Amino acid sequence: MRKIGLLMALMVLLSVVAANAEEVRIYTWSEYMDEEKMPADFEARTGIKVRLDIYENNEEMVAKLQAGGVSQYDIIVPSDYIMPVLINQNLIQPLDHSQIPNLGNLKPIFRNTTYDPGNKYSVAYQWGTVGLMYRKDKVSADAVKSWSVLFDKAKQPGAFWLIDSVREMMGIALVYQGKDFNSTNPVDLKAAADLLVATKRTKNCMGFKPGVGGKNDVVAGTAVAAIVYNGDAIQSVREEPDKLGFVIPKEGSEIWYDSMCIPAKAPNPAAAHKWINWILDPQVGAELSNYNQYATPNATAEAHITPEDLKNPGIYPTPEIMEKLYFTKDLGKQNRIMDEAWTRAKSH
């Protein structure tokens, strides 16, 4: 009986410890870290458990915050153009720099962004581009030099996916037509939406899909091309370089920064600050980029980056490629016009 009593007492104690275990809740993009190793490493270092929830685009993330997620999560990972929305709607809180001693590891360009000078609300996580992933056995290297490989019916090489993300997809359609990536001109947006509608109606277009899903279909061979985020593509290209490729077509595309932020009513902001500071550790930051194949904003991490990755223009674009990459700007009240054009493109 005494043994049973001791066993019951131990079980009660363990249940109390488990109930009181500290936790950090992270809302982030899919496949953006090693989802098993990195949370386990953080817990081993700090004793804080990590819970991950996943989203596939910024608009989905903002909608979740507006619906109550602002008090459910400790960390979110928004892109640059959505930052003004998060700040202006008070969805994120100012950071306590005294709890982030590794902040100085960031490159200067990431410490004074136009949308958040001085890192008041955000800390850079990764940066990258959007381009075309394709199967080398189905699509020629010359064909993928232009977005016409998707938008010109006569040049389509087979089944493909457009990316299900409003600003990236609309921006690519705009630059293909020789317009500003961030145009809010109603005539330009109508033409871009018309192009997407016409493309979607061709027999080869499978529709719109998030970047990870499109990447998976190209890898599986159910699609010959897809518009995807560069890191998603490079991970697979590295494994099958003879079969898969990634390129930024000549008309141009998007360059983006993603950052770590703390929601306004985060349940555990202290743990969130520890997570941010941990990610900024040189070796942790390098491990992150070596895994997800995106570029690091961390100057001290570069010494630990795989040398081949530093030389890969798909990850760290050449000056020539950089000239045709565009940041997505916050459109303010003009977002409504963009959203209307996007809704038309998806619904027709």
Give the tens place of pLDDT for each residue, 283-337: 999 999 999 999 999 999 999 999 999 999 999 999 999 999 999 988 988 999 9
pLDDT at 13 exceeding the cut of 80: no
In DSSP notation, 27-93 reads EEETTSS-TTHHHHHHHHHHS-EEEEEEESSHHHHHHHHHTTGGGT-SEE--BGGGHHHHHHTT-B-
pLDDT at 3: 40
Q: What is the mean pLDDT of residues 47-75?
A: 96
CA dist list (Å): 323 to 16, 91, 318 = 57, 33, 9
Mean of the pLDDT values across residues 263-286?
A: 98
Over residues 101-156, the pLDDT tens digits come to 999 999 998 988 888 989 999 999 999 999 999 999 999 999 999 999 999 999 99
Token couple for 31: 């496949």
What burial class does residue 126 get, using C-beta atoms within 10 Å of its C-beta: 0-12 exposed, 13-18 middle, 19+ buried?
Answer: buried
CATH 3.40.190.10 in the chain, residue ranges: 23-127+257-315, 128-254+325-347
Residue 205 has a pLDDT of: 98
Give the per-residue pLDDT at 326: 94
pLDDT level of residue 8 (50, 70, 90 thresholds): low
240 is in an annotated binding site: no
Q: Which CATH superfamily is domain 23-127+257-315 in?
A: Periplasmic binding protein-like II (3.40.190.10)
- Establish whether 81 is an annotated binding residue: yes
- Output the pLDDT for position 115: 84
> What is the CATH superfamily name and number for domain 128-254+325-347?
Periplasmic binding protein-like II (3.40.190.10)
